[in-house]
């Protein structure tokens, strides 16, 4: 089957997730984390993808990035290739280190951006490894540091001071599902519509002729939208969508 095209949002922010093949460990010791971060800094600079937050766990990685030029695939492909080569050489192994393509979800609201930040940084706490502020392989301590390759200015604008940031991260919150189990909400569905149909609003489909509209409806369904989402976002009744 052909690969599904990656979905990008209009805002430019993305929540990115990749993990070891078969959930295997991808960081064996401290030097591995350090090398991965060196590569992340190098390739983010080369591609222009801004790293806003990160958390490196033993068998997976979370990133929040700003990527208005849609260079995230370049970044992740270079990063995965270089790190896999290093890891396989160091530990005398062969084969794929990472599990398929990386996952990404466009972030289309300030609310989700903040929830994603809190979720990403709290991974060590959620996994019962240590307190969030004690974990050395996340960007938690880089908030507001001008000399860091991690650019936190968007969070500073939304959250405020260092004290407010620490309180925000520590506050009780509803889970933000991992990307592999992420509920594809209406913000995601709107981003798909814009990306594959080149429309600003789903209601534009009401102006299409029947054949063109049905082709568009089938395409949206094939990209993972539910019939209920399509009905809600386009204004087309359920029976018409089901017939298409």
Where exactly are the structural domains of the chain? 13-176, 186-243
pLDDT at residue 46, as a whole number: 97
Contact 105, 14 (CB under 8 A): yes
Q: In CATH, what number does 13-176 get?
A: 3.30.70.1290
Write the CA distances from 111 to 108, 115, 138, 158, 189, integer angstroms.
9, 6, 21, 10, 17
* Statement: residue 176 has pLDDT above 60: no
pLDDT in tens, 45-68: 999 999 999 999 999 999 999 999
pLDDT at residue 175, as a whole number: 57
Beta bridge partners of 180: none
Q: pTM above 0.85?
A: no
State how far the Cα of 242 lies from the Cα of 238, in Å rounded to an integer: 6
How much is the mean pLDDT over the chain? 88
The set of residues, in sequence order, having a beta carbon less than 8 Å from that of 156 and lying 6+ positions away, is: 143, 144, 165
Per-residue pLDDT, averaged over 108-137, amounts to: 92
Per-residue pLDDT, averaged over 114-118, amounts to: 92
State how far the Cα of 234 lies from the Cα of 115, in Å rounded to an integer: 28
- Sheet with 13-19, strands from edge to edge, namely 50-56, 60-66, 13-19, 103-107
């Amino acid at each position: 089957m052909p690969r599904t095209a990656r979905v990008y949002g209009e805002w430019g922010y993305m929540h990115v997730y990749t993990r070891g093949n078969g959930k295997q460990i991808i960081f064996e010791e401290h030097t591995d984390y350090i090398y991965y971060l060196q590569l992340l800094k190098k390739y983010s600079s080369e591609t222009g993808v801004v790293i806003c937050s990160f958390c490196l766990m033993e068998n997976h990685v979370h990133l929040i990035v700003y990527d208005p030029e849609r260079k995230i695939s370049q970044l992740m492909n270079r990063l995965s290739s270089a790190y896999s080569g290093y890891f396989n050489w160091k530990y005398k192994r062969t084969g794929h280190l990472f599990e398929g393509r990386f996952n990404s979800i466009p972030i289309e609201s300030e609310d989700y951006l903040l929830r994603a930040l809190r979720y990403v940084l709290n991974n060590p706490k959620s996994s019962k490894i240590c307190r969030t502020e004690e974990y050395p392989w996340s960007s938690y301590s880089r908030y507001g540091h001008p000399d860091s390759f991690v650019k936190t200015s968007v969070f500073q604008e939304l959250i405020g001071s260092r004290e407010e940031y620490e309180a925000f991260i520590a506050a009780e919150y509803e889970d933000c599902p991992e990307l592999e189990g992420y509920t594809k909400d209406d913000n995601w569905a709107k981003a798909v519509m814009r990306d594959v149909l080149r429309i600003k609003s789903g209601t534009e489909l009401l102006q299409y002729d029947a054949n063109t509209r049905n082709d568009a409806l089938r395409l949206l369904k094939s990209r993972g939208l539910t019939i209920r989402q399509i009905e809600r976002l386009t204004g087309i009744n359920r029976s018409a969508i089901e017939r298409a």
